[in-house]
């Protein structure tokens, strides 16, 4: 069944309010420190309020068992106030509930029900009083879907093929690239380094062997998902360091040069149940001030490649 | 970004002397007999920069061969490109011969007494009196057949003679000559009997009219890749 949207939540609020209003004071949770089970910095609802609503639903010892609380670890249930919404994490499940009215009591009741369901606890087993007063909770189908939290850091490692154009004969070189995206929003900064080479080229009769290193800073914009694919687009700037050595000169010198230019890329990451997922991207960079090359007796050999076009394929890891 | 060079040696005469030739052993810059023949560095003519070598001979109809030349010999590579720029202030009527560019050989690389002639790049008069390039092979005693017969050499304009010479003793030997970048001959086959090479940029003539013939020479180079008319031989 396709999960329903958060707009269905008011109906659930009403039903649960009735249910919870009929609940009696729980006794099973007596003797359990609420702070061991429910944590987070939320002010609306507070962890204490959530606990107050949770205790009548599920016996504390059942919660301890289901949540596999270990001594010294943090609370297994976390509640976060996100302003117009709030987020509950329990038993490795996460739900974000839109609730712009900031009705803290209702938020607490919602959170408690979600926790009870998430832990797999049957409210009916929470004691006679609770069992007789709380109907079977069918909230799972009524809970609004919530997107899994975005990773705070996305690390990508891939193999690249880069073509240099516009500076003598075109060159193609293999390489590797490492990219890191920071943040959870749809627009995130990305920093990357790449290395490619060797590329065998020829310009003005001078054969060369090139190694290229690049570092770029970009902004990545996530585009709407296409099925399991997560397309994105990047725009930024790149610095290229080019080490070039002629191979057919009697007096040859390895020379390093650098160039700066704009960079654009488009890619797609495939959705995955794992923390890692495959990705592919195509990218291009333009170096309007590519270095000039000179050799005797050919003289001016023109500039190094002013266009870099390439493709990268690899694995992306989302790190929370 | 200076990637390097294939120019093994060059001479631009910008030092206002012949040290680029004479400081190398063996190398030479001389005129024989002198007088009347002379060789000097002058600022009267220059292809690039301010100076060029000016080689003057007096080769009247009553005299023998007159010589003024610049020579590199001995420690030259088995294969290389030899390039020099020339300027002829006026046209000349050639009586016997007029040579600007030479390759010589040794039958015994260790014996200077075994020096001999190999190829001469000569100037001859065409039917309309213009000067044209000819290539004389001393082994056969005849001129080589050129890709374009009688390639005209300009007067009062700098022109470039360049040759690729692979002095192999087998069929891989090769002589290719360009006039202002235009190929005029491409000869394959055995060259000199030994790897020893001598290259001369010269003004050598006999029975010329008028008898005083001036040749200015500049921007000479020995390179492992072709210089061409647009090449650069020094930074």
pLDDT tens sequence across B151-170: 999 999 999 999 999 999 99
How far is A19 from A113, CA to CA, in rounded Å? 10
Q: Which candidate, B1, B2, B3, B6, places its Cα nearest to that of B231?
A: B6
How does residue B198 score in pLDDT terms, banded at 50, 70 and 90? very high
Local structure of residue B151 (DSSP, 8 states): P
| A94 min Cα distance to partner chain B (Å) | 57
Instruction: Please give the pLDDT value at position A272.
Output: 67
Instruction: Please give the pLDDT value at position B157.
Output: 97
Q: Is the pLDDT of residue A143 over 70?
A: no
Comparison of pLDDT for A65 and A181, the residue scoring more: A181
What is the model's pTM? 0.67
- The pLDDT of A196-218, averaged and rounded, is 93
How does residue A28 score in pLDDT terms, banded at 50, 70 and 90? very low
Instruction: Please give the pLDDT value at position A75.
Output: 77
Instruction: Please give the pLDDT value at position B111.
Output: 94
Q: Does B181 touch chain A (CB under 8 A)?
A: no
Within-domain flag for B53: yes
| Contact status, residue A220 vs residue A181, Cβ threshold 8 Å | yes
Do the Cβ atoms of A296 and B4 come within 8 Å? yes
Q: Does B78 touch chain A (CB under 8 A)?
A: no
Radius of gyration of chain A (CA): 29
| B6 min Cα distance to partner chain A (Å) | 5
Q: Is the pLDDT of residue A277 over 80?
A: yes
Number of domains in chain B: 1
Do the Cβ atoms of A250 and B228 come within 8 Å? no
- The pLDDT of A100-117, averaged and rounded, is 85
Residues 6+ apart with CB under 8 A from A259: A239, A240, A242, A287, A289, A290, A291, A304
How does residue A100 score in pLDDT terms, banded at 50, 70 and 90? confident
Q: Does B227 touch chain A (CB under 8 A)?
A: yes
| Contact status, residue A16 vs residue A54, Cβ threshold 8 Å | no
How far is B48 from B218, CA to CA, in rounded Å? 8
Q: List chain B residues with CB under 8 Å of A291.
A: 1
Residues 6+ apart with CB under 8 A from A306: A165, A166, A167, A286, A287, A288, A290
**How many percent of chain B have pLDDT more than 90?**
93
- Mean pLDDT, rounded, of chain B: 95
| A173 min Cα distance to partner chain B (Å) | 20
Instruction: Please give the pLDDT value at position A71.
Output: 53
**How many percent of chain B have pLDDT more than 70?**
100
Instruction: Please give the pLDDT value at position A2.
Output: 38
- Mean pLDDT, rounded, of chain A: 79
Beta bridge partners of B166: B79, B174
| Contact status, residue B2 vs residue B211, Cβ threshold 8 Å | no
> Beta-carbon neighbour count of residue B181 at 10 Å?
14
Within-domain flag for B167: no
Preferred mutation among B2, B5, B48 to probe A, highest tally of A CBs within 10 A: B5
- Closest Cβ opposite residue A244 in set B3, B224, B231: B3
Q: List chain A residues with CB under 8 Å of B221.
A: 297
| A145 min Cα distance to partner chain B (Å) | 59
| A310 min Cα distance to partner chain B (Å) | 25
Instruction: Please give the pLDDT value at position B15.
Output: 96
- Closest Cβ opposite residue A246 in set B3, B223, B234: B3
Q: Is the pLDDT of residue A155 over 60?
A: yes
**Parent domain of B216:** 4-162+194-223
pLDDT tens sequence across A43-75: 889 888 888 888 888 777 777 777 765 555 677
| Cα angle for residues B21, B26, B28 (degrees, 5° grid) | 40
Domain of B109: which CATH number?
Answer: 2.60.120.200
Within-domain flag for B75: yes
Q: List chain B residues with CB under 8 Å of A296.
A: 4-7, 223, 231-235
| B48 min Cα distance to partner chain A (Å) | 14
Q: List chain A residues with CB under 8 Å of B83.
A: 297
Within-domain flag for B179: no
pLDDT tens sequence across B111-146: 999 999 999 999 999 999 999 999 999 999 999 999
**Residue appearing with tokens 């749809």:** A186
Within-domain flag for B184: no
Q: List chain B residues with CB under 8 Å of A292.
A: 1
Within-domain flag for B80: yes
Within-domain flag for B95: yes
Q: Which candidate, B39, B45, B44, B46, places its Cα nearest to that of B17?
A: B39
Within-domain flag for B168: no
B-facing residues of A in 178-237 (CB < 8 A) are: 205-206, 208
Radius of gyration of chain B (CA): 17
pLDDT tens sequence across A3-17: 334 333 333 333 333
Task: Give the nearest chain B residue to A294 (CA atoms).
Answer: B2
């Amino acid at each position: 069944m396709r999960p329903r949207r958060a707009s269905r939540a008011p109906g659930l609020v009403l039903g649960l309010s009735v249910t919870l209003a009929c609940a009696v004071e729980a006794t099973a949770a007596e003797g359990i420190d609420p702070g061991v089970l429910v944590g987070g910095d939320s002010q609306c609802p507070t962890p204490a309020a959530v606990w107050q609503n949770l205790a009548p639903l599920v016996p504390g010892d059942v919660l301890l068992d289901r949540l596999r609380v270990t001594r010294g670890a943090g609370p297994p249930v976390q509640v976060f106030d996100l302003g117009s919404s709030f987020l509950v994490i329990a038993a490795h499940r996460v739900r974000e509930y839109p609730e712009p009215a900031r009705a803290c009591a209702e938020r607490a009741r919602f959170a408690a029900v979600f926790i009870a369901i998430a832990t797999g606890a049957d409210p009916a087993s929470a004691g006679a009083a609770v069992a007789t007063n709380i109907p079977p909770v069918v909230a799972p189908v009524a809970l609004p879907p919530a997107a899994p939290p975005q990773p705070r850091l996305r690390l990508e490692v891939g193999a690249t093929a880069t073509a240099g154009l516009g500076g003598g004969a075109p060159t193609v070189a293999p390489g590797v690239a490492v990219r890191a995206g920071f943040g959870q929003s749809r627009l995130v900064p990305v920093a990357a380094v790449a290395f490619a080479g060797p590329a065998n080229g020829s310009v003005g009769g001078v054969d060369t062997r090139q190694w290229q290193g690049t570092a770029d800073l970009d902004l990545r914009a996530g585009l709407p998902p296409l099925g399991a694919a997560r397309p994105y687009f990047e725009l930024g700037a790149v610095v290229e360091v080019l080490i070039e050595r002629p191979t057919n000169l009697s007096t040859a010198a390895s020379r390093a040069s650098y160039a700066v230019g704009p960079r654009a890329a488009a890619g797609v990451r495939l959705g995955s149940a794992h923390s890692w997922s495959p990705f592919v991207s195509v990218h291009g960079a333009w170096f309007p001030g590519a270095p000039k090359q000179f050799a005797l007796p050919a003289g001016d050999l023109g500039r190094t490649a002013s266009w870099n076009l390439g493709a990268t394929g690899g694995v992306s890891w989302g790190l929370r | 970004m200076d990637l390097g060079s294939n120019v093994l040696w060059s001479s631009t005469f910008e030092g206002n002397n012949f040290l680029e030739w004479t400081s190398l052993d063996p190398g030479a810059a001389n005129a024989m007999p002198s007088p009347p023949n002379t060789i000097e560095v002058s600022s009267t003519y220059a292809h690039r920069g301010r100076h060029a070598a000016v080689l003057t001979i007096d080769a009247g109809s009553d005299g023998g061969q007159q010589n003024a030349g610049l020579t590199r010999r001995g420690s030259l590579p088995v294969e290389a490109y030899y390039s020099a720029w020339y300027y002829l202030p006026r046209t000349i009527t050639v009586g016997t011969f007029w040579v600007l560019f030479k390759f010589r050989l040794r039958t015994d690389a260790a014996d200077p007494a075994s020096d001999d002639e190999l190829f001469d790049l000569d100037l001859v008069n065409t039917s309309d009196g213009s000067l044209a390039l000819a290539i004389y092979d001393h082994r056969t005693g005849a001129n080589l057949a050129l890709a374009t017969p009688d390639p005209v050499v300009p007067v009062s304009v700098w022109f470039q003679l360049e040759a690729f010479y692979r002095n192999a003793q087998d069929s891989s030997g090769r002589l290719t000559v360009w006039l202002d970048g235009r190929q005029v001959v491409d000869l394959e086959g055995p060259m000199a009997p030994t790897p020893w090479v001598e290259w001369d940029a010269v003004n050598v003539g006999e029975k010329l009219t008028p008898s005083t013939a001036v040749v200015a020479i500049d921007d000479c180079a020995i390179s492992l890749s072709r210089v061409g008319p647009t090449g650069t031989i020094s930074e």
